[in-house]
A = this chain, B = another copy of it.
Amino acid sequence: MNQQILLKNRPVGEPKESDFALVETPIPEPGEGEVLNRTIYLSLDPYMRGRMSDRESYATPVELGNVMLGATVSQVIKSNHPQFSAGDFVLGYDGWQAYGISKGKTLRKLDPNQAPISYALGITGMPGMTAYFALLDIGQPQSGETVVVSAASGAVGSVAGQIAKIKNCRAVGIAGSDEKCDYVVKELGFDACIDRKTQDLNSSLKDLCPKGIDVYFDNTSGPILEAVLQNINLGARIPLVGLISQYNAENLPPGPNLMPLLIKRALIKGFLVGDYQNRQAEFVKDVSQWLREGKLKYKEDVVEGLKNAPHAFIGLLQGKNFGKLIVKVSDDPTR
């Protein structure tokens, strides 16, 4: 039998476990040009909260009663597509279920000898690519500049800050606990990190960014963006990558006052990684090399079992994960 987690209710505010339903259904048969996959890893990402609501977003919401969507790393069980054979490892978009049917053209084959297959959900996948292009294309960090990154221990922020260091910038992270800050500085090599739960953002930013802030990699919006705007430099660049601080908000809260943007001739620009698909090769080339050279470090937060996905996802929106959150749905034969 297949296990599936469906969207049962549109959450009001924070999602609850009762907004999801775990059901068992027969394992489906792949049709012409299709592939049947066994899910090994399911990615959990903050953007999924947006798809649970029906207000306007950059993508259509999940229908009530449908399987929750998400990127997956799987092994092919049965293939009716010439490019895939049983046993292949693939990156797909099968969602929160143990088995999925994909059209072959939506899958990407993974080589387990190149990197752990789960990395395709994180550092070598969409989160890594988000960090890479939002930082380099919109942020345009110059050697010697100061780059601030929110959600700095997360899947995207951790990569953005490390790339800032590779580009010879001062990297200052903001994270949600002492332990995360320790990791960001000692393991990832950021120059400093602010614990947003115990430290005053404005004065900490002033202290830790004595030359002001040139790039703010914004995963959160909200109070962190407000504090950053008080400390931005002339011509600063702010890639707006996420608004984690308000994904659970029932009404869109007001944003920061924009006076500092005018005074400092700075820019905020919204970013979606989907717009950069045609430039994936640049990303893969650089990130693969940096991983080989040990310049990029990567941490996964692995939750065991599909049934625990709702609980883990709710925690993700509260910042409880530590590293890229993935669900191990079935055995990984490569490790």
Interface on A for B, CB 8 Å cutoff?
56-58, 221, 225, 240-243, 246, 252-272, 275
Contacts and interface: CB of A to CB of B under 8 A. Distances in A.
Contact of A270 (B242, B243, B267): B267
Nearest to A271: B265
B253 A262 contact: no
A58 B252 CA distance: 30
A contacts with B: majority SS: loop
Contacts of A242: 262
Contacts of A253: 257
Given A267-B267, A267-B270, A257 B255 contact: yes
10 tightest Cβ-Cβ pairs between the two chains A and B: A254-B254, A267-B269, A252-B257, A262-B270, A261-B270, A255-B255, A265-B270, A58-B263, A255-B258, A255-B257
A257 B270 CA distance: 12
A58 B56 CA distance: 36
A202 to B, nearest CB: 13
Contacts of A240: 258, 261-262
B254 A261 contact: no
A263 B275 CA distance: 12
A151 to B, nearest CB: 14
A272 B269 CA distance: 18
Contacts of A262: 58, 240-243, 270-272
Contacts of A261: 240, 268-270
A132 B261 CA distance: 19
Contacts of A259: 221, 243, 246, 252
